[in-house]
Structure 1
């Protein structure tokens, strides 16, 4: 196959792996296996990693730019590609290259989003024809946040985050601060003081303003830089923690207000400027009828 033919299929293109925000997070219980039951609202923003895929003739799955200190076999994109091969019996190989724009360990879902992009794009490039539902089931094997990135729409989520219902949330511009710390998610969910019995709410309750994050008190206590970031961002809008952090964010009704906050905060913080979107940029690029 010629290079132009490969490019027309999508090989070598840069495919987006977008960030998400948790607009609220309630922990409503805990399963016997230790996983926490929750309610959350996932919102996509147009801040993305970019991933490209090139055929590997030997049938292996490899990274062009492995993360230092992380075994290649543990990278979520490699695991996602190998899971597709195992599930379908596909013998194709691939080189994966990631342009990393999302901060690691920030609660924006970067690794999970990279895995979902790998599942969705290789499903097309390898001609596997798996449905969205099957890809979501495979994604859950890789992590609780992967299914929403496969789903590709803003969503109300329950269970461990895999029971998804598409929702509409108001258009907003977003400013995100990444404090200089890395939150250990396992540490937060094992913390004695974590609220685990929040009363379940409905989407209408969230839209009416019930948007707390049950992880915030523990995270703020254990990671002072996050508390400082919330205080800094609160000068401009309602600052919230996404997931277990470390990133905090605020939504704005206008681009001008968001841009002002971004510029002011950029002097002292690692800050990102983005726009909320209803549909994952990856799904927008893939188009309809792909799965």
Structure 2
């Protein structure tokens, strides 16, 4: 496992990534500029550790694990000894390029740089890097602690050393990796978004209600979660942004349905707002 990990962005995904590396024994620096956002990120990790401890999933106390988490207010404060940087900021290519380039200037030459992007081009994100051989995608899934999969995405310049290090670290987290070539939506987002968009179209057309559509996939095809509830979990705004990107790259089959656009416009973004295709309790 990497001894020192930096996670840039402390939202739900970033906090989850920080949590799993801290549980695995890494010292983790979590970067959040805003003090309130930093406090909220720490609380997310703390609550996640308490839940894990309650389920008997920790080999030590949650407090002991939390001591390995350090909040940092700027990328420039990262240690030169960092082994792995995982960028987990919003799906904005320009923002990701900026923070990755800043991280590369701060950490040592030994560090692997990774993006948690679910759909953006790894080659495009590498444009701002001096050494793209040490850069790849490490796409974690929500909720990170419970998910068993990490999608490793190799760009055209990703080196073998970075890829194999990422594979080893994923195994050390107790997760399974799939290695895919850089392409729009990779493997998971491309398939997952397509299924989710079709489920939304079916709801829009009155084929069935949301619960029935999800139940059909859960019981008929053994999906652990239906496509509409999964969309709520990911965030309707996130799914819309990915769909728009894939629509531009891959054509009309990824055109976002009007119902999805309308819900995002109303602020019905899924679990994080309490309402999406289903009602959610605050978490």
TM over 0.5: no
Higher relative strand content: 1
Length-normalised TM-score, structure 2: 0.25
Higher relative helix content: 2
Length-normalised TM-score, structure 1: 0.25
